[in-house]
Structure 1
Amino acid sequence: MHNLTNYINFDIKPLKTTQTIADAQDLFLEIPYSHFPVTENNVYVGCLRKEDAEVLNENTLISENKFDFERFFVRDTMIWLDVLEEFAKNECNIMPVLNVKNAYIGYYEIEDVIKFFQDSPFLKEEGGIIVVQKPKSDYSISQISQIVEGNGGKLLGLFISNINDQLVEVTLKISQSYMNEILQGFRRYEYVIISEHQEDSYLENLKERSDYLDKYLNI
Structure 2
Amino acid sequence: MIAEQLINYMVPPLKPGDDIARAKQWMDEFRVKELPVVSENKLLGFVSEELLYDSEIMHPEVGAYPLMGQSCIVPASSHYYDILKVQNDHRMDMVAVVFDDQFKGVVLISDILKEFAKTAIVNSQGAIITLQSSLNDYSLAQISKVVEMNGSTVLGANIKPDLDDPSLIEIVLRINHQDVNQIATGLSKSGYKVTSSFNTEDNSFDEKDRFGLLMKFLDP
TM > 0.5 between the two? Answer: yes
Mapped to 2, the partners of 1:196 and 1:64 lie a distance apart of 50
Deviation (angstroms), 1:113: 0.8
Find the counterpart in structure 2 of residue 128 from structure 1. 127
Q: Do structure 1's residue 12 and structure 2's residue 14 form an aligned pair?
A: no
Instruction: Summarize the alignment of residues 172-191 of structure 1 with structure 2, pairs less than 5 Å apart.
Output: 172-176=173-177, 182-191=183-192
Deviation (angstroms), 1:29: 4.0
Find the counterpart in structure 2 of residue 168 from structure 1. 169
Find the counterpart in structure 2 of residue 103 from structure 1. 102
Question: Does the C-alpha gap of structure 1 residues 128 and 136 become closer, same or farther in structure 2, counting only changes over 3 Å?
Answer: same
> What residue ranges of structure 2 are gaps of 5+ in the alignment?
200-220
Question: Does the C-alpha gap of structure 1 residues 30 and 115 become closer, same or farther in structure 2, counting only changes over 3 Å?
Answer: closer
Mapped to 2, the partners of 1:53 and 1:63 lie a distance apart of 11
Give 1:41's aligned amino acid: E
Mapped to 2, the partners of 1:127 and 1:112 lie a distance apart of 24
Question: Does the C-alpha gap of structure 1 residues 146 and 29 become closer, same or farther in structure 2, counting only changes over 3 Å?
Answer: same
Mapped to 1, the partners of 2:68 and 2:94 lie a distance apart of 14
Question: Does the C-alpha gap of structure 1 residues 64 and 128 become closer, same or farther in structure 2, counting only changes over 3 Å?
Answer: closer
Contact 2:131 2:195 in 1 (8 A): yes
As a proportion of its length, which structure holds more helix? 1
Deviation (angstroms), 1:187: 1.6
Mapped to 2, the partners of 1:18 and 1:43 lie a distance apart of 14
Deviation (angstroms), 1:166: 4.0
Match of 2:77, SS? coil
Comparing 79-88 with 10-19, which one deviates more in the overlay? 79-88
Match of 1:82, SS? helix
1:152-189 C-alpha deviation (Å, 9 max, x unpaired):
64221012477222432222112339956643432223
Question: Does the C-alpha gap of structure 1 residues 154 and 176 become closer, same or farther in structure 2, counting only changes over 3 Å?
Answer: same
Deviation (angstroms), 1:6: 3.8
Find the structure with the greater CA-based Rg: 1
Deviation (angstroms), 1:146: 4.8
> What residue ranges of structure 1 are gaps of 5+ in the alignment?
199-219
Instruction: Summarize the alignment of residues 24-63 of structure 1 with structure 2, pairs less than 5 Å apart.
Output: 24-55=23-54, 56-59=57-60, 61-63=61-63
Contact 1:157 1:172 in 2 (8 A): yes
Mapped to 2, the partners of 1:128 and 1:42 lie a distance apart of 45
Contact 1:130 1:173 in 2 (8 A): yes
Question: Does the C-alpha gap of structure 1 residues 3 and 102 become closer, same or farther in structure 2, counting only changes over 3 Å?
Answer: closer
Find the counterpart in structure 2 of residue 112 from structure 1. 111
Deviation (angstroms), 1:144: 3.2
Mapped to 2, the partners of 1:130 and 1:136 lie a distance apart of 17
Contact 1:87 1:93 in 2 (8 A): yes
Find the counterpart in structure 1 of residue 78 from structure 2. 78
Contact 1:131 1:171 in 2 (8 A): yes
Mapped to 1, the partners of 2:67 and 2:198 lie a distance apart of 51
Mapped to 1, the partners of 2:179 and 2:192 lie a distance apart of 17
Give 2:42's aligned amino acid: V
Mapped to 2, the partners of 1:34 and 1:163 lie a distance apart of 33
Match of 1:95, SS? strand
Find the counterpart in structure 1 of residue 217 from structure 2. none
TM-score normalised to the size of structure 1?
Answer: 0.72
